[in-house]
Structure 1
Amino acid sequence: MTEITHRFVRSDSGLRMHVAEAGEGPLVLLLHGFPECWYSWRHQLVALAEAGFHAVAPDQRGYARTGGPAEAGEYTLLHLVGDAVGLIRALGADRAVVAGHDWGAPVAWAAAQMRPDVVRGVIAMSVPHRPRGSKPPVESMRRLFGDGFYMVRFQEPDAPEAELDRDRAATFRRMLYGMSGDGPTPALVAPGGGGLLDVLPDPERLPAWLTPADIDAYVEEYAESGFTGPVNWYRNLDRNWELTAAWHRAPIGPPALFLAGDRDVVSVGARQVIDTMTDFVPNLRETVWLPGCGHWTQQERPAEVNEAMLRFLRAL
C-alpha cells in the first residue's frame, strides 16, 4: 500500500503550508474546498502515486495544520493563487496540473488563467469557471437569495465560525451528509435568522462512503485552526471582484477537465454556466457527470474520479 507522508513546505508566497503527498513523477497539486483539508483527497493521493505521479494535497491558507493570518483581507484570491503557484515552485517543479474541488476549483481556475506558464492542466470539481461579472457579487446574491443565503451570512463577523466551531463533529456530519448524493437537496438559505447548519440535518446513519473515523479525522485536523480562516475566504468575494479586473472575461488556455455530481446543488444550479463553459475555457477536454453523486465528488465516487483524472493526465 502506498504511504501518504506529511511535511511542511514554505510556499514562495511566504506561507508555511502543511502538505500530504505520495509518489514520484509529474506534479499534481490537489486543492481542497470548504470545509475540508488535505484529507478530502485521501483516495486520489494513493491512486495518482501508484499511476506514476507526485500527488500533493496541501491544507490551504487558514485551514487545518497550515493555519493562517488573522486579518480577513489576507485571504483574497490573489493570496490563494500565490500560495498554490508558490508551492509548485517550492516543491521543485516548474509546472504542474492543478486540481481543485469546491473553493479549490476557483483557485485552480484562476491559477490556470493567471499563470498558464506554470499550470499545464486544470481539473475542477463541482464549481465551474464563472467569468468575472459586471458587479460585485455579494449584493447580487443578496437580491437573488436573501439575507439567509450562507455566502451572505458569512460576511458577518464572528457568528458564522461560532456556529461551525460549536460542535465540530456535528458540523462535519451535517455538511458532508447534507450536501452529498445520499442527503436531501438543501436550499442553503437559512430561515428566520438561522445559520447554515439549520438547513443540514444530522444523519441517523452515515452513508457508506463516509465513516465515523472520517469524521474524527476532520475534527482532529481542525483542532488548532478552527473555522475563522475558512470563512475568511468568503469575506473576500467582493474584494476578489475588485482585484481581478485585469482578468475580466479572460479565457483559460490550459487543457481542462470538469467533474460534477448530478445531485450536487452547486453544480446543478450552475448547469447553464457548465453547458457554455467552452466560451471561456476553449480547451475543456471533457465534462463528466457522476450519477447519484452530490457535492463531495472525490470522496463519494473515488473510483470514477480517479479514472477520469488519470485519463486526462495521461493524455496531456
Structure 2
Amino acid sequence: MNTSFEHRYAYTNGIRMHYVEYGEGPLVLLCHGWPESWYSWRHQIEAIAAAGYRVVAPDQRGYADTEAPLETASYDIANLTGDLVGLVNALGETQAILVGHDWGSIVAATAALLRPDMFRALALLSVPYLPRGRIRPAVHLQTSAVDKHFYQEYFQQPGRVERELEEDIRRSLLGIYYTAGGESRRHPEHRHQGFIGFDKNARFVDSLAYPDTLPAWLPAADLDVFAAQFAKSGFRGTVDWYRNLDRNWALTPFLDGARILQPTLFVAGEVDGVIHMTAKAYERLESNVPRLTKKVLIPEAGHWIQQERPDEVNTLLLEFLRDPAVQRDSA
C-alpha cells in the first residue's frame, strides 16, 4: 500500500466521512461494497491517480472510520447518494466520475440517475444497473426464502447476523471473502457451498467455506486491515443498508423506467454469484444503459473483482477513462 495516501475527513449530509485521497486532476470517486472499505480499492488508487486523476475512496456510511448513525432508516438510498453529493461539494468539486463495486455500484447508479449534472460517467463492478421493479423487494425476499434462507432476507432481523459475524470478525470476513471469491468456485467441495441460499436450520456464518491457505489476492496483512476496521465499526450500520431495500423502493417511484444515459463500463467476475442473481439485469444492460461502452466478464474471477484481478480491472478502468465519450462528457 502506498503510504503517501492522504487520510482525511469531510462533513457530508450530517455525518463525518473518512476518505483516502491521492493524485491531482478530475475527480474519481471509488465506492466500495459489503463488507469492505476504502481499502478494497488499494490496487486502483495509485494506478488511476498516475493517469492524471484526483482519486478519492471513502469509507461509506457505517463503515470503518466513517460515522454510523443509529437509525436504520438513515441508511436509505437518499442518504447514501446524498453522502456522495455532499462529499463532492466538500472536496470543492462540481463533477466526478463514479466507480462502484457491489453496493457501491447500486449507490453509484442511483447517484448518476439523480444527479447527472454532477456524475458524468460511471463504472459498475459486480452488480449491474438494477432498474426499479414493479414489485416491492420484500415480496422477492419472501419468495426467495421459501425452502432456504436467502441471505438478504436473513439480514432483515436486527442484530442477528451482526452477532454471528462479530463472534470472530477475522474468521467471518475470511469466510465471506473466500466463499464469494473465484478460488472457492474451483474447489471440488467448496464450490457447492455458498451464502446466497443456505439451510433454514443453519446460521449465516455456518454457510461459509474456509480455505486451507489464504487466496493469493488476500494476504494475511490485508485481511488484518479489514478485520481491524470492522472491529472498530462493527457490522450493524453496514447491514442496515440491506434493511432499507423496501424503503429504497418506496422512496423512488419516479425512477420507474429510468435509464442511465452517461457513458458506463460494466465489469464482473465470470463466476461471481451476483451475476447469476441479477441475470436479467445483466442481459438487459445494453437497453437500460444505452451508452454502455463495454460489458466484461473476467474468466474464473469471483465477486471481489478489483482485488482478485487488479491488473485487468485497472486496464479496463484506464481504457474507460480515456474513452473520448468519457473525456468529452467529463470535461
Between 285-294 and 199-208, report the one with greater CA deviation: 199-208
Q: In structure 2, how many angstroms separate the alpha carbons of the residues matched to 1:272 and 1:63? A: 30
Structure 1 vs Structure 2 CA RMSD: 1.3
Find the counterpart in structure 1 of residue 320 from structure 2: 312
- Is 1:79 equivalent to 2:79 in the alignment? yes
Cα drift, residue 195 of structure 1: 2.4
Find the counterpart in structure 2 of residue 166 from structure 1: 167
* Structure 1 counterpart of 2:296, one-letter code: V
CA contact (8 A) 1:2 1:49 kept: no
- Is 1:97 equivalent to 2:105 in the alignment? no
Q: In structure 2, how many angstroms separate the alpha carbons of the residues matched to 1:204 and 1:134? A: 44
Q: Map 1:258-269 to 2 at 5 A.
A: 258-269=266-277
Find the counterpart in structure 2 of residue 303 from structure 1: 311
Cα drift, residue 25 of structure 1: 0.6
Match of 2:243 among 216, 226, 235: 235
Cα drift, residue 14 of structure 1: 2.3
Matched residue SS, 2:293: strand
Match of 2:226 among 218, 222, 247: 218
Q: In structure 1, how many angstroms separate the alpha carbons of the residues matched to 2:115 and 2:105? A: 15
Find the counterpart in structure 2 of residue 110 from structure 1: 110
Matched residue SS, 1:250: coil
Cα drift, residue 2 of structure 1: 7.5
Q: In structure 2, how many angstroms separate the alpha carbons of the residues matched to 1:50 and 1:190? A: 43
Find the counterpart in structure 2 of residue 206 from structure 1: 214
Find the counterpart in structure 2 of residue 248 from structure 1: 256
Find the counterpart in structure 2 of residue 130 from structure 1: 130
Find the counterpart in structure 1 of residue 329 from structure 2: none
* Structure 2 counterpart of 1:45, one-letter code: I
CA contact (8 A) 1:76 1:236 kept: yes
Matched residue SS, 2:233: coil
Q: In structure 2, how many angstroms separate the alpha carbons of the residues matched to 1:178 and 1:229? A: 22
1:227-278 Cα deviation digits (max 9, x unpaired): 0000000000000000011111211111100000001011133233212112
Cα drift, residue 51 of structure 1: 1.2
Q: How many residues align?
A: 315
Matched residue SS, 2:42: helix
1:130-188 Cα deviation digits (max 9, x unpaired): 11111111221221343611100111011111111110000111011110000134252
Matched residue SS, 2:88: helix
TM-score norm. by structure 2 comes to: 0.92
CA contact (8 A) 2:62 2:233 kept: yes
Matched residue SS, 2:232: coil
Find the counterpart in structure 1 of residue 8 from structure 2: 7
* Structure 1 counterpart of 2:233, one-letter code: S
Cα drift, residue 196 of structure 1: 2.2
TM-score norm. by structure 1 comes to: 0.96
Q: Map 1:262-301 to 2 at 5 A.
A: 262-301=270-309
- Is 1:152 equivalent to 2:153 in the alignment? yes
Q: In structure 2, how many angstroms separate the alpha carbons of the residues matched to 1:117 and 1:57? A: 21
Q: In structure 2, how many angstroms separate the alpha carbons of the residues matched to 1:54 and 1:24? A: 4
Find the counterpart in structure 2 of residue 119 from structure 1: 119
Find the counterpart in structure 1 of residue 88 from structure 2: 88
CA contact (8 A) 1:188 1:196 kept: no
Any stretches of 5+ residues in structure 2 without a counterpart?
A: 186-190, 327-331
Q: In structure 2, how many angstroms separate the alpha carbons of the residues matched to 1:215 and 1:138? A: 33
* Structure 2 counterpart of 1:278, one-letter code: E
CA contact (8 A) 1:130 1:273 kept: yes
Q: In structure 2, how many angstroms separate the alpha carbons of the residues matched to 1:212 and 1:193? A: 32
CA contact (8 A) 1:171 1:197 kept: yes
CA contact (8 A) 1:154 1:231 kept: yes
Matched residue SS, 1:272: helix
Find the counterpart in structure 1 of residue 188 from structure 2: none
* Structure 1 counterpart of 2:271, one-letter code: R
Between 103-112 and 2-11, report the one with greater CA deviation: 2-11
Cα drift, residue 199 of structure 1: 1.6
Matched residue SS, 2:48: helix
Between 248-257 and 230-239, report the one with greater CA deviation: 248-257
CA contact (8 A) 1:253 1:282 kept: yes
